[in-house]
């Protein structure tokens, strides 16, 4: 890499470069040594990738070896941020631990638990894992990271990821490999933010704001994905429990029928008792849900995304564009007649149908029905163990 490229990239003059205590000769030494080391680092990274494929919770793996150009740029940038930090050809491998970088991506937030366990049980960690969180993340989430032996750090740009520094010796020499674990949505935001802002546009206010909006949307998408998975699992559990109770009830009914047949009573009494058994209602399944496997399952109703939806609906109903729906007596008679014809076509009891229609329609006008909608929007999320 040419010296002028470095100076132009950081808007430095020759004097600025020297005042930072940087030596171009030292950078050239690092460049030369690193170019020789890259094939070895590449084999180390691929070795770790091959081993991490064994974790079923990982959706996909990305691997990159830091380029020589980015390495030299990072050394200059670190020196500009901290003039007292000396990085030389002798210590750059210890000072910059992300020369080999792997990203383990997972689909749902809660999948991190399996990946974290897999890494901690199968690799030698050089330092405590660091969980980067966004300002405003719930205490429930940060406490969960701490209970999992992670160091929690709030990132000023809203970056979310858990970083591990693995120490491995595939060739009887210590090598450090940085593994970043995050969701696919977090990866998408991180890639866009990195391409657009890093490293020279980090103070651009407009880009910072736009990136923050995208970050929040990716967080909402992760949370909504967890909700979809949670409710699917809950529904499956309820179906299994419902079927189990039905099977148990049917066994009891079959046993009672056998006992009835052996009773010394007349035939009519037996018929009545069997009719009573046949009329047993299906059991009502209360369900006992355990969402301990979903530590990121915060209240979607309290999220900014849902509040925005609720606000939009409320604004519409309060606007001049929304008008009450009036039904004329003629239209009401036509609706009644249509109801009667439909119910007759379905074979409903005429007497019951007449009684139902005599009460008239029970659907209120939309403005009156709005109260029910607002109650629905304001209803709390079901807590763990309840419907």
Confidence category of residue 106, pLDDT binned at 50, 70, 90 = very high
pLDDT score recorded for residue 258? 76
Q: What is the mean pLDDT of residues 83-101?
A: 91
d(C-alpha 349, C-alpha 354), whole Å? 9
pLDDT score recorded for residue 349? 57
Confidence category of residue 310, pLDDT binned at 50, 70, 90 = low
Contacts of residues 368-375 at CB distance under 8 Å and 24 or more positions apart, as own/partner, are 370/317, 373/313, 374/314
CA angle, 122 as apex, 118 and 127 as ends, to 5°?
A: 95
Q: What is the DSSP letter of 350?
A: H
Report, in angstroms and rounded to the nearest whole number, the Rg of the chain calculated over CA atoms. 33
Q: What is the mean pLDDT of residues 343-360?
A: 55
Q: Whose CA is closest to 218, among 163, 164, 157?
A: 157
pLDDT at 350 over 80: no
User: Which of 374 and 19 is assigned the larger pLDDT?
Assistant: 19
Confidence category of residue 338, pLDDT binned at 50, 70, 90 = low
Q: What is the mean pLDDT of residues 38-61?
A: 93
Torsion sign (Cα): 40, 44, 45, 49:
positive
User: Which of 327 and 89 is assigned the larger pLDDT?
Assistant: 89
Q: Whose CA is closest to 180, among 170, 194, 169?
A: 194
Q: Whose CA is closest to 225, among 260, 184, 262?
A: 184
Contact 162, 193 (CB under 8 A): no
φ, ψ of residue 182 to 5 degrees: the values are -160, 170
Least confident of 20-24, 323-327, 360-364: 360-364
Q: How many CA atoms lie within 13 A of 333 on its CB side?
A: 3
Least confident of 5-19, 252-266, 335-349: 335-349
The tens digit of pLDDT for each residue in 195-238 reads 888 766 777 888 888 888 898 899 889 988 888 888 888 888 88
Contact 134, 223 (CB under 8 A): no
pLDDT score recorded for residue 365? 41
State the burial class of residue 248 (Cβ atoms within 10 Å of its Cβ: 0-12, 13-18, 19+).
exposed
Contact 387, 346 (CB under 8 A): no
Confidence category of residue 384, pLDDT binned at 50, 70, 90 = very low
d(C-alpha 227, C-alpha 220), whole Å? 10
Percentage of residues in the chain having pLDDT higher than 90 = 34
Helices (H), 53-85: 68-81
Query: Structural domain boundaries of the chain?
Result: 3-225
Question: Strands, DSSP E only, in the chain?
Answer: 60-65, 100-106, 124-125, 130-133, 151-154, 161-168, 175-183
pLDDT at 353 over 90: no
Confidence category of residue 382, pLDDT binned at 50, 70, 90 = very low
Q: What is the mean pLDDT of residues 154-160?
A: 89
Confidence category of residue 122, pLDDT binned at 50, 70, 90 = very high
What is the DSSP secondary-structure string of 348-361? --HHHHHHHHHT--
What residues have CB less than 8 Å from 218, skipping those under 6 apart?
185, 186, 188, 189
Confidence category of residue 370, pLDDT binned at 50, 70, 90 = very low
pLDDT score recorded for residue 373? 38
User: Which of 354 and 102 is assigned the larger pLDDT?
Assistant: 102
Give the homologous superfamily in CATH for domain 3-225: Beta Polymerase, domain 2 (3.30.460.10)
State how far Cα 364 lies from the chain centre.
39
d(C-alpha 83, C-alpha 366), whole Å? 68
pLDDT score recorded for residue 4? 81
Least confident of 245-259, 296-310, 319-333, 356-370: 356-370
């Amino acid at each position: 890499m040419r010296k002028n490229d470095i100076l132009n990239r950081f808007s430095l003059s020759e004097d600025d470069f020297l005042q930072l205590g940087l030596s171009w000769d030292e950078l050239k030494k690092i460049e030369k040594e690193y170019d020789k080391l890259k094939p070895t680092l590449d084999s180390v990274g691929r070795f770790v990738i091959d081993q991490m494929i064994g974790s079923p919770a990982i959706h996909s793996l990305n691997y990159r070896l830091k380029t020589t150009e980015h390495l030299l740029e990072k050394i200059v940038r670190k020196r500009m941020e901290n003039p007292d930090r000396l990085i030389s050809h002798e210590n750059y491998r210890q000072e910059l631990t992300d020369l080999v970088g792997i990203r383990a991506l997972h689909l749902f937030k809660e999948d991190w638990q399996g990946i974290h366990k897999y890494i901690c049980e199968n690799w030698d960690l050089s330092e405590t894992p660091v969980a980067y969180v966004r300002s405003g993340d719930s205490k429930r989430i940060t406490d969960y990271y701490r209970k999992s032996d992670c160091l929690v750090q709030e990132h000023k740009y809203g970056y979310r990821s858990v970083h591990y520094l693995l120490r491995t010796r595939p060739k009887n020499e210590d090598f450090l490999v940085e593994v970043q674990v995050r969701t696919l949505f977090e990866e998408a935001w991180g890639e866009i933010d990195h391409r657009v802002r890093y490293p020279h546009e980090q103070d651009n206010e407009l880009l910072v704001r736009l990136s923050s909006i995208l970050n929040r949307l990716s967080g909402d998408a992760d949370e909504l994905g967890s909700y979809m998975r949670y409710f699917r699992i809950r529904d499956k559990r309820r179906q299994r429990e419902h079927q189990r109770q039905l099977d148990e009830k049917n066994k009891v009914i079959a046993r009672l029928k056998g006992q009835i047949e052996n009773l010394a009573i007349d035939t009519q009494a037996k018929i009545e008792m069997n009719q009573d058994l046949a009329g047993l209602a299906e059991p009502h399944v209360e369900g006992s849900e355990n969402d301990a496997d979903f530590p990121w399952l915060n209240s979607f109703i309290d999220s900014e995304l849902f509040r925005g939806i609720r606000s939009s609906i409320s604004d519409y109903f309060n606007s001049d564009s929304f008008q009450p729906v009036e039904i004329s007596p003629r239209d009401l008679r036509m609706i009644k007649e249509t109801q009667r014809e439909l119910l007759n076509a379905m074979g409903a009891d005429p007497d019951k149908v007449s009684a139902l229609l005599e009460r008239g329609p029970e659907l209120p006008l939309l403005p009156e029905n709005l109260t029910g909608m607002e109650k629905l929007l304001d209803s709390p999320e079901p807590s763990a163990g309840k419907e």
